[in-house]
Chains A and B, each alone.
Chain A
Amino acid sequence: MIHSLFLINHSGDIFLEKHWKSVVSHSVCDYFFEAKEKAVDPEDVPPVLQTPHHYLITVHRDQLFFLSVVQTEVPPLFVIEFLHRVADTFQDYFGECSESVIKDNVVTVYELLEEMLDNGFPLATESNILKELIRPPTILRSVVNTLTGSSNVGDTLPTGQLSTVPWRRADVKYTNNEAYFDVIEEIDAILDKSGTTVFAEIQGVIEACVRLTGMPDLTMSFMNPRLLDDVSFHPCVRFKRWESERTLSFIPPDGHFTLMNYHVSSQNPVAIPVYVKQNISFFESGPCGRLDITIGPKQTMGKTVEALMVKIHMPKAVLSANLTATQGNYTYDLPNKLLIWDIGKLNPQKLPNLKGILSLQAGAAKPEDNPSLNIDLRIQQVAISGSPRFVSTYNWATVFSHCSICFSPLCTGLKVSRLEMFGEKYKPFKGVKYVTKAGKFQVRT
C-alpha cells in the first residue's frame, strides 16, 4: 500500500519524509518535480505519475504537496482519500495545514503519521481516536509538559478503536450540553453571457458541532426528505433507518463533523440569488480594455446577500486595472492575474458597480476571450436558537425531547423538523442554522 510520504512546499523543498516500509530515496521526487516544471499551474500536475519503479500519487492541499510513493497496485482513490485525511487531521490538530506549522510540530506530526498507518495500511484515521492516542498541542499543555516532563501520548488503547462506535470518545462530559447543526446549501451554477442559466444545481451539507455528555443517540427528521436525491453519510448514520424511514439516526462523534452531504434532484428549479450585468471588452486598437460590472439581487426572497465577492481570472495580457467601485474594494493580483472585488453586503437600493479601464501589455494581441466571473456569496438565516421548545416525555428508561423548527430555508426548502435525543437524561440545547452559499458559481462573459 502506501510506502512513503513526502511533504513538499511550493518552491520544491522536501521538508518532511516518512517511510512505512523500507526507505525510499527522495530522489524519486525528481519525477514529480519534472512534471511540476511542465505544468503551468500547480493544480495542473497530474495526481498519478508513473516512474520506473514506483508510482507517485500526489495531493495538492493548502499550498503543499502530499506526495506518496506506492510500489504495487492499489486503488488510487484509496491513497488520495487517505492523504486528504492526513491533511484534514493536521488542520484539525494545528488549526492550519502549512509548512511552518508542520515544521513547528514535527514530532506530533510524526507520531500522528505513525499511528495513522501500519505497514502502509490505514490504522486509525478517526479524529477522536487519534486525539486519545496523541493529544493535540495546546499552549497550556506544552507548558505543563515542559515543567513536569509528561507527554502528549496516551498510554491506553482508545476505547473507540474496539467499540462499535469507533468515532466517539468514551466518557465524554460537558456541563453545557449542546448540539448545533448548520445546513449549508451551495449553488453550483454556470450562467452564460446573456444571464441565462446553463447549468445549476444544489449541493448541501449538514455540518454538526455536538457537545453532549455520554452516549446520546440522536434522531433527526426532515419535513421534506424527498428533496434529497443522493446522499452520503458520516459512518455514524444508520443507513437502514434512512432507507426505511428517511430519518437520520446516529450516535454522534464528539465535536465537529460532517453529518451528511446531499444533492438535490435536478428536477427542482434552482433559484439564482443574484444577476450580473457585465461588459468586458478589449479594444482592437490601443492597449486597453473596458470593464463594467453591476450586480443586483434576483431571487432572494427578501433575504440579504452577504459576503458578496467577485473573482476574475484576467487574460495574461492584462497588466493593470484602474477601476472604481461604488461599493467595496478591489485588488488586482498581478502575478496570478486575479482581480478580486470584495463587495460585502448587497444593497438592493444602490447596486454595486465596478467600472474602469484595464491596461494591456504593449504589443500583446487582444485577448481572444473574455474572462469569466466567479461569484461568492452567502445568505445566512438564523434559524432556531434561544430556547427551543422542548416537549419532553419521561419514559421510565429514556428521555426524549424534541423541538420543532418552523422555518423555511431559501434554497431547496429542506427543513429539519425534529431532533430527538435518546439514551441520555439531560436536556440538550439544540440549534439549526441554514446558510445558502454560492458554490462553483460562474458567469461566462
Chain B
Amino acid sequence: MDVGFSMRSEAAGAMRTALISAENLQLTLKTGLSQEEQALTHTGRSPTETHKAGNEDLKEMLESNKESLKLEAMKRVVGLIAKGKNASELFPAVVKNVASKNIELKKLVYVYLVRYAEEQQDLALLSISTFQRALKEPNQFIRASALRVLSSIRVSIIVPVMMLAIKEAAADMSPYVRKTAAHAIQKLYSLDPDQKEQLIEVIEKLLKDKSTLVAGSVVVAFEEVCPDRIDLIHKNYRKLCNLLVDVEEWGQVVIISMLTRYARTQFTSPWKEGAMFDEDNETAFYESNSEEKKDQTEATAYVMDPDHRLLLRNTKPLLQSRNTAVVMSVAQLYWHVAPKHEVNIVTKSLIRLLRSHREVQYIVLQNIATMSIQRKGMFEPFLKSFYVRSTDATHIKTLKLEILTNLANEANISTILREFQTYVKSQDKAFAAATIQAIGRCATDISEVTDTCLSGLVLLLSNRDETVVAESVVVIKKLLQTRPTQHSDIIRHMAKIFDNISVSMARASILWLMGEYCERVPKIAPDVLRKMAKTFTAEEDIVKLQTVNLAAKLYLTNSKQTKLLTQYILNLGKYDQSYDIRDRTRFIRQLIVPNEKSGALNKYARRILLAPKPAPMLESAFKDRDRFQLGTLSHSINSKATGYQELSDWPAVAPDQSVRNVEVIEPVQESAPLVGKTKKPKSDAKFYSDDEEEKEEKASESGSSDSSSSEESGSESEEQSSEESSETSSDSGKSSSGSEKSSSESESEQKKKMKKKTKKAPQKKSKTTAAASSDSDENGNGPVAQDSSSSAQSSSSSETDSEDDSEDDSNSDAPPAQQKKKSDVKAKTKVEEKSKTEVSLLDLDDFCPAPANAPKPAVISPSLLSDLEGLSLSNVSSAMQVTTPSFGPVKTHELLHHMTGKGLSAKYHFPRQPCLYQPRMVAVQVILANSSDHSLEKIHIGDRSPAGLSIHCFNTIERLEPEASVTVSMGIDFSDSTQAANFQLCTKEDQFSVSIQPGVGELLMPSTMTEQDFSKEQGKLLGMNETSATVTMATANTSSQAISKQVLSVANVGVVSSSPNDLHRFAGRTVSSGALVLVSLELKEPSAALLTINTEKSVMASMLLRDLKQALALA
C-alpha cells in the first residue's frame, strides 16, 4: 500500500501507484462511512479487533449496490483465499452475488463458493437454484460453467441434483458441456461412491461420444470410477485409436495409458519365441495389405491382431508431440505392448526429452534406467547423451551414472571407465562415491576389466577425500570377495592405510576383510587386532562388531598369538553400552571358547565363522523397477501408489476379437453442429491409412491440383478446404474422405465423361459413398470391390457385394414386364439428369408400391420376399435369424393433414418388413392422397433436417389426380434412436415440413432363436444391459396369446418358444445396429409379472419397457 513499493518501474509503477492510491481512496472512503454508520447505530459497542474490522469492511462492500465495489471486495477475498487465510465468515455476503450479471464478479464468487461450500453446507444450498437455472441457458459456456461449479460444491445433499444435471449434460448438444459432464462424473463419484452404477451408465454413454473434446475427459472418468470395466472399451476401442491424434494432449496421455492396459488383456503376446519378424516386415507395416499378405504366408507364426497393430500405428506419430508426458506415455505403450523389435523407435524421442527441464530429465532418466537393464541395445548408440555435466543436479548425475553402468559392455567399457575417471574427481562428493560404486559394478559385470578397476580403486585409496576412500574400500571389499585369490597385497595395502581412514563403514570393511582372509595375511591381521584393542572403546558400533568378528576368527586360526587379545576385546565388549555389542560378545565367547556348557556347537565354530561366503551381487537399483508400469508414479517412487492399476500379463489365448466390431455408425450431427463445419461420418475402418496414403500421393502429385479440382465444383473445394484445415490431426476425418475418394474414383471418371454437371451430383455422391465406406467397415471386408457393370457399380454405393449378387438374382427373377418398366424408368432418370446411383434402387422401388389406393403391406411377390430375406440376413449369424415380419395390427399415423397440406394429405405406417433399400433402414409406407380439386404434380421429398439423416426417398410422383391416392415406401435409418426424422414433402408449388416419429418398438426387427440361444444371449447381456420392472397386468392380458398380441403390437419382435408356461420370451434386433433386444416376461401372480429387457441399448430398453408396461396394463 505504500508508495515506495510501487516506484520500481517507471511507467507501470507510476500507473500502479495511481491505481493503488485510487483504490485506497475508495477504501478509506468506504471504511470511513462504515465507521460512521457504526457510530450511529451501535454507539455503545467497542470496536472489534482489526482483522475482524477488515472483514466487516469487505462485507459492507459486498452488500453495497455498486458493482465495482463488490468486484473490488471479491478480489480482496480471493487474495485472502490465495494466501490460505480464512474468509469463511463472509459466506452469506458472498453467496448473494452468485447471480450477478458481471461475469468476473460471478467467477470470483464461484471460486469462493467452491472453496467454502463444504464448510457452509446450508448456506451453499441457497446458490443451487441459480445453477439449475443456468444449466438451461442457451449459451453453452454458461451451461458448462454452471455444471462445473455445481459439481465442485461438495455438499452431499445435492447429490441427486448433480446426478440429474450430469445425465442431462451428458446428452447436451455442445461437446464442451459434455466434456464438463465427464469431469463432473469424477467429482460426484468422489463425493458419493454409491452412485457408481448410475455413473457408469453415463460413462458408457459418453464413451460412445465421437467428439475429440470429450474423449480424453471421459476416459479420465472411466479410469477413476470403473477402471476394471474393460468391457466398456471394446466397442469404442477403434474409435479411440482413430481419434487419438486429434484429442488434446492431456487426454492423449490418459487414453494411451488406458489402452496399454486394455491391450495387455485383449491381445496375445507379441513376444513369443516363435514370433520371428524379418527385417522387411517393419517397412511392410506401413504399406497397405501387408497384414493380409502375412496371414497367407505365415499362417502358423504369430499374427498380430489388426486392432493391436492399429493401436501401435496410431500412437506412433505422438512420439513427435511437444508434450513430454505424451511422448513418455507412447514410449511406455511401446515398451509394454509392441513386439520387441519395434520398441527401438521410441529411443530417439526419449533422448530428445533429456533436453527438457530438470524434472522431466529426472523422470525420463528413471525410465531409461529401467529399460536399459533389459534392453542395452536400445540406448547403447546414445551412450554419450548420458555423459554427466558438472552443472547437472545430483540426482540427475546419479541416474545418468546408473544408465552408463547398465550400458557398459566389453566394447564400450574403456570409454565409460575413462569418463568415470573424470567423475571420480568431481567436486560433488556424493556423486564421486556413486561413481566408485558404479566402477565396482562394471568390474563385476565385465570380467575383462576387473583387474583394471581394482587397481584403479586401490589408487583411489590414496585420495585425499575421505568419502572417496571409504567408498573405494567398501567396493574393493565386495570385489575381493568375488575373486578372493591372489589379492593379499591389496589387503596388505589396506591394512597400511587403515589408520588414516576414519569413515566407520570403510574401517569395518577392512576389518572384515582381515578376518575373512586372515590366513593370507598371517602377520598383519594380529597386528591390526592389536591396534583395534587400543581404540576399541572409541569406535562406532559397526566397527566394534567387526572387531569382535576379527578377534573370533583370529582366535580360531591363530589362537597362539591372539588368545589374550581376543579375551581382552571380548571383555571390553561385555561391558559395552550397546546391547547389540554385548549380545554379540556373549554369543562369540560361547561359540569359540570351549567350556562345559557350550557343548556341541563349539566343535562347529570354525565352520560357522569361516564358512565360504557367497560374493555379493552388485546390482542396479533399478533391477526390480520393471514390476511397475513405466512412466507411472509408482515406478518413480518405486512403491505402489494409491490407485495404481497393475498391468496384467498377456492372455494365453486372445479373447474374442469380434467384441470390438462396431456395427453402429451413430449420427454425427449430435456432436458436430457447433464445430462450424460438419464432420463427415467417421469410418472406424482399419484400412484407412492405406487410403490416406493414396490421397497423400495424390496431393503431392500436383500442388495445383487442389485448386483445379476446386474449380470444377464448388462443393468439392469446400470439402477440400475443410479437409485442409482439419488435416493436422483429424486423421479419421480425413480417412473417411480418403476412402471416399478411392471408392468413388471410378465413379468420378464416369462423371467426367458426362461433362455436364449439376451442383447436386457431387453432394449426393459424397453422401452415398460415405455410406458405402461405412458399410464396408461393418463387414470388415475392406474397400468395396467394384463391379464393372454400371448397375452393380451404382448399387455398390449403398450395398455390399453379397447384396449385389442377390439383387442381380432378383432382377433376373423378375418378370419381363417389370424389366421393361425398369428400363423405362432408366430412360426417365437420364432425362432428369439424376445420378446413376439411384437407378437400380429405382427399379426395386417399382416393385413395391402396388397400384394406387392399396395400403396393404404385403404385395411383394413371394419370390422377391424370400430374396430380400436373404439380403437382410447377410451379416447375421445363423443361430439367430431375423424372421419374416410378424404381422401385428398396423397403426397408421398422420404425416400431413390435408388442411395444412393444401389438399395433399399423407399418412404413414410401419409395415414391419425388412427395408428393401438398406438393411439398416426402417421401412415406412406413406399413403399420399389428394383431396383437393386439382391435380398435384411432382410430389417428392425435399430437405431433411438432421443433416446426416439417411432417408431413402420414394420416386418423384409426377402427377396425383384429385381424389386419388398412392402408396409409396421409404426407408429411414433412425440409427436406433427415437429422434424424429424431419423432412420436407414437396409438391411442385409447395413445401411442407413433416416428421416421422418412430415408436421404439418399430426400430426393431424380429429374430428367431432357440430357447438355449436366448438364454445364452441373455447371459451375455446382464448387469448394465438389463432393465427390468414389475408390471401389473390387466386381467384380460394374462393368457399367453394375449400377451404375445400386446407385446407384438408394441414392438416388432419375434416370439421365442419357451417351455414353462408362465415365461414368455421375445427376441429382436435393432434395425440399424443389429443389437440384440431380448424381452422376457415372467408371470408371478395372476396380475403381476416381471418384465425384463436385455440389450446393450439401455436407452431403448427403458423406453421399450415403458411402452410395454403401458400396453400390458391396458385391457
Contacts and interface: CB of A to CB of B under 8 A. Distances in A.
Interface stretch (B287-295, B390-398, B756-764, B933-941): B390-398
B324 A26 contact: no
Nearest to B389: A442
B355 interface: yes
B357 interface: yes
A235 B645 contact: no
Given A48-B633, A106-B78, A118-B148, A81 B84 contact: no
A374 B105 CA distance: 51
A81 B637 contact: no
Interface string A120-160: 01110100000000000001001100100101111111000
Contacts of B257: 75
Nearest to A72: B643
A85 to B, nearest CB: 9
B325 interface: yes
A69 to B, nearest CB: 12
Given A109-B82, A162-B675, A48 B710 contact: no
Interface in B797-814: none
A123 B184 CA distance: 13
Given A46-B362, A118-B183, A368-B464, A251 B82 contact: no
Interface in B101-129: 102-105, 107-108, 110-111, 115, 118
Interface stretch (B421-429, B504-512, B606-614, B989-997): B421-429
Given A17-B84, A118-B183, A142-B19, A81 B390 contact: no
B725 A165 contact: yes
A175 interface: no
Contact of A77 (B217, B325, B726, B731): B325
A406 interface: no
Given A14-B84, A47-B359, A149 B724 contact: no
Interface string A183-201: 0000010101000001101
B674 interface: yes
A80 interface: yes
Given A76-B636, A162-B675, A230-B349, A367 B427 contact: yes
Contact of A374 (B79, B391, B729): B391
A121 B463 CA distance: 52
B352 A261 contact: yes
A230 to B, nearest CB: 4
B387 interface: yes
A55 B675 contact: no
A137 B356 CA distance: 29
Nearest to B721: A423
A371 interface: yes
B755 interface: no
B752 to A, nearest CB: 20
Contact of B321 (A76, A151, A232, A397): A232
Contacts of A215: 725
Contact of A234 (B322, B395, B644): B322
Contacts of A241: 696, 727
Nearest to B101: A155
A229 B349 CA distance: 10
A343 interface: no
B88 to A, nearest CB: 11
A73 B696 contact: no
B328 A75 contact: yes
B463 A125 contact: no
Interface stretch (A36-44, A273-281, A294-302, A383-391): A36-44
A21 B151 CA distance: 11
Given A313-B391, A368-B425, A80 B360 contact: yes
A153 B103 contact: yes
A322 interface: no
A398 to B, nearest CB: 6
A27 to B, nearest CB: 11
Contacts of B729: 164, 235, 238-239
A288 B357 CA distance: 37
Interface in A13-62: 14-19, 21-23, 26, 39-41, 43-44, 46-48, 50, 55, 57-61
Contact of A250 (B355, B639, B728): B728
Interface of B: 11-12, 15-16, 19, 22-23, 67-68, 71, 75, 78-79, 81-84, 102-105, 107-108, 110-111, 115, 118, 139-141, 144, 148, 151-152, 154, 174-176, 180, 183-184, 186-187, 190, 213, 217, 220, 245-246, 248-250, 253, 257, 317, 320-325, 327-329, 348-349, 351-352, 355, 357-360, 362-364, 384-385, 387, 389-391, 393-395, 419, 422, 425-427, 463-465, 631-634, 636-637, 639, 641-645, 674-676, 692-693, 696-697, 700, 704, 706-707, 710-711, 717, 721, 724-731, 734
B83 A151 contact: no
A239 B675 contact: no
B696 A398 contact: no
Contacts of B115: 19, 23
A10 interface: no
B434 to A, nearest CB: 13
Interface in A241-292: 241-245, 249-251, 258, 261, 263, 266
Given A164-B730, A395-B704, A46 B395 contact: yes
A397 B707 contact: yes
Contacts of A188: 355
Contacts of A251: 725, 728
A161 B731 CA distance: 19
B173 to A, nearest CB: 12
A368 B427 contact: yes
Contact of A73 (B83, B111, B390, B633): B633
A78 B390 CA distance: 28
A164 B675 contact: yes
A409 interface: no
B427 A315 contact: yes
Interface residues of A, number: 122
A1 interface: yes
A313 B322 contact: no
Interface of A: 1, 14-19, 21-23, 26, 39-41, 43-44, 46-48, 50, 55, 57-61, 70-78, 80-82, 84, 104, 106-107, 109-111, 114, 118-119, 121-123, 125, 139, 142-143, 146, 149, 151-157, 161-166, 188, 190, 192, 198-199, 201, 203, 215, 217, 229-245, 249-251, 258, 261, 263, 266, 313, 315-316, 365, 367-369, 371-372, 374, 395-398, 422-423, 440, 442, 444
A100 to B, nearest CB: 9
A59 B12 contact: no
Contact of B71 (A110, A151, A233, A238): A151
A368 B728 contact: no
Contact of B465 (A16, A123, A229, A368): A368
Given A26-B84, A162-B674, A217 B78 contact: no
Contact of B324 (A80, A143, A149, A154): A80
Q: Which of A107, A163, A244 has the largest count of B CB atoms less than 10 A from its CB?
A: A107
B427 A43 contact: no
B121 to A, nearest CB: 13
**Nearest 5 interchain pairs by C-beta:** A151-B104, A72-B643, A157-B141, A149-B68, A47-B359
Contacts of A398: 706-707
A119 B186 contact: yes
Contacts of A80: 324-325, 357, 359-360, 363
Nearest to B145: A157
A152 B107 CA distance: 11
Contacts of A118: 148, 180, 183
A153 B107 contact: yes
A350 B357 CA distance: 38
Given A139-B12, A163-B675, A444-B422, 7 more contacts: A17-B83, A47-B363, A78-B250, A146-B19, A198-B419, A201-B385, A369-B426
28 contacts: A1-B220, A18-B82, A21-B190, A22-B118, A22-B154, A44-B394, A47-B362, A114-B107, A119-B187, A125-B250, A139-B15, A146-B22, A151-B102, A156-B139, A157-B144, A198-B419, A217-B724, A232-B320, A238-B727, A240-B692, A244-B697, A261-B352, A261-B355, A263-B348, A368-B464, A395-B704, A396-B711, A440-B391
